Amino acid sequence: MKAIVIGGGIGGMSSAIALEKAGIEVEVFEAVQEMKPVGAAISIWPNGVKCLNALGMKEQLRALGGNMAYMAYHDGATGAPLTRFSMAPLVQQVGEYPCPVARAELQAMLIDTFGRERVQFGKRVIQVEETAEGVIATFTDNSQARGDFLIAADGTHSVVREYVLEQKLERRYAGYVNWNGLVTIDERIAPADQWTTFVGDGKRVSLMPVSGNRFYFFFDVPLPKGLPQDRSTVKADLTGYFQGWAEPVQQLIAAINPETTNRVEIHDIEPFSHFVKGRVALLGDAAHSTTPDIGQGGCAAMEDAVVLAATLASHSLGIEDALLRYQARRVERVKDLVLKARKRCEVTHAHDPAITAAWYQSLKSETGERVLAGMCETIEGGPLG
Ligand code: FAD
């Protein structure tokens, strides 16, 4: 049995590794010549970590992860702590650590685990078709690939999604812009072993430790879509948006490198329930694009990969049937994640300022129990418990 995997991102590479482990021959085709991930880092929550562990990357992943022993919220304007608590109860309950990692390093680990020389870069798919024998993918250079089935992990702008759904879906702007990057840890800004977030006015500034003495940082600001993007004004823009915020936020803005700071307008896609057409299946952001508000988009792609390989490995009613079983096991789970993230996004980014003000207020009495219970529920809903 041979799979064609379209896309060499988190979803594509996780699936390629998982399918190969299940004894399926795999070819991976990636549009770009060189991978340049859109974000600087990513928090892999224990549900995602368990998937990568199962795919044989436990030790490598652990080495890339930062130590997120505590979690804290601060008032953005004054810098005063609102709450701080240990992440140990979460680790204790779910049996694995959260793992914030630099994206480029995660991407390299996945590609190297599969075999860098085996990923076919510069292959942008423009068409897929099914024949009596299987599937054919056609690329912009007019070359073709043939396989028994095709996994489309071609991201949020997926072209294969249109083939599967027989319609084009519009992405939904979530109402805020996110700037993210990496910066050397400076304990005047935040403790090195803590996920620290400053909140106020529907904005947030967050720092998460990753390996190599670095913080993954991000700034969120509710803004209209389509404002000009210019690297030369990143610091001035952030200084303006966070005028009057506490000293650590000003120090962070001073420390960032505009050349390596990404600016992303955050979108999601209304959840849908058809991931499969015949022998073609959508996976990762192609199937479920989410806002990053609960940090689960990439983790969900890892979950997809593990479930996909398991259903194909144990199928006896044919490939189409196995793919439909993959779909059945994933649709409700990922819909739940997308909608949870959307709800979190609305509260965090002041879609209703009164609700957001009440959330800020509630953080003052947060002991960690409520926050961690929500996280544990999300994590334990994954395929590996
Ligand atoms: P992608 O990563 O988009 O990869 C798709 C790949 O397909 C790309 O390499 C692309 O070049 C290739 N491709 C596209 N079109 C074609 C084509 N026609 N032919 C061939 N190849 C093609 N998730 C988390 O789990 N935790 C987080 O903390 C987190 N933080 C985030 C922060 C931000 C700001 C954003 C924007 C997202 C975040 N996410 C997070 C979500 C996560 O980044 C995505 O869910 C994840 O990257 C999806 O992986 P994917 O492989 O499906 O898609």
Asked if 220 contacts 177 with a C-beta cutoff of 8 angstroms, the reply is yes
Identify the burial level of 51 via C-beta atoms within 10 angstroms of its C-beta, where 0-12 means exposed, 13-18 middle and 19 or more buried. Answer: buried
- Across 342-369, average pLDDT: 98
Extract the runs of DSSP E, i.e. beta strands, from 131-171: 135-139, 144-147, 149-152
Helix (H) / strand (E) containing 5: strand 2-6
What confidence category does residue 38 fall into, taking pLDDT thresholds of 50, 70 and 90?
low
Mutate to test the pocket of ligand 1, among 5, 28, 36, 42 (most ligand atoms within 8 A of CB): 42
The alpha carbon of residue 131 and the mean position of all alpha carbons in its chain are separated, in whole angstroms, by: 34
What confidence category does residue 230 fall into, taking pLDDT thresholds of 50, 70 and 90?
confident
Q: What's the residue count for the chain?
A: 385
- Across 252-258, average pLDDT: 97
- Non-local (6+) Cβ contacts of 122 within 8 A are 30, 31, 32, 33, 141
- Across 316-340, average pLDDT: 97
Residues 55-84: tens digit of each pLDDT: 999 999 999 999 999 999 999 999 999 999
- Non-local (6+) Cβ contacts of 330 within 8 A are 275, 287, 303, 304, 307
What confidence category does residue 36 fall into, taking pLDDT thresholds of 50, 70 and 90?
confident
Give the DSSP letter string of 269-331.
----S--EETTEEE-GGGT----GGGS-HHHHHHHHHHHHHHHHHT--S-HHHHHHHHHHHHH
CA of 363 to the centre of ligand 1 (A): 31
Q: Report whether pLDDT(92) > 80.
A: yes
Least confident of 21-30, 36-45, 189-198: 36-45
Percent of the chain with pLDDT over 70: 99
pLDDT at 367: 97
The rounded distance, in Å, linking the Cα atoms of 250 and 344 is 26
Residues 194-204: tens digit of each pLDDT: 999 999 999 99
Q: Name the closest-CA residue to atom 14, ligand 1.
A: 154
Percent of the chain with pLDDT over 90: 96
What confidence category does residue 234 fall into, taking pLDDT thresholds of 50, 70 and 90?
very high
The rounded distance, in Å, linking the Cα atoms of 249 and 242 is 8
Q: Name the closest-CA residue to atom 13, ligand 1.
A: 154
pLDDT at 39: 75
Mutate to test the pocket of ligand 1, among 30, 114, 195 (most ligand atoms within 8 A of CB): 30
What confidence category does residue 231 fall into, taking pLDDT thresholds of 50, 70 and 90?
confident
- Give the up-direction half-sphere exposure of residue 305: CA atoms within 13 A in the CB hemisphere: 35
Question: Which among 147, 110, 132, 169 has a CA at the least distance from the CA of 4?
Answer: 147
The rounded distance, in Å, linking the Cα atoms of 92 and 18 is 27
The one-letter amino acid code at 63 reads A
The rounded distance, in Å, linking the Cα atoms of 251 and 82 is 20
**Paired sense of beta strands 203-210 and 70-75, if any:** unpaired
Q: Report whether pLDDT(382) > 90.
A: yes
CA of 12 to the centre of ligand 1 (A): 9
- Across 94-111, average pLDDT: 97
Cβ of 12 less than 6 Å from ligand 1: yes
Predicted complex ipTM exceeds 0.90: yes
Q: Report whether pLDDT(150) > 80.
A: yes
Residues 295-313: tens digit of each pLDDT: 999 999 999 999 999 999 9
Nearest atom within ligand 1 for CA of residue 48:
25
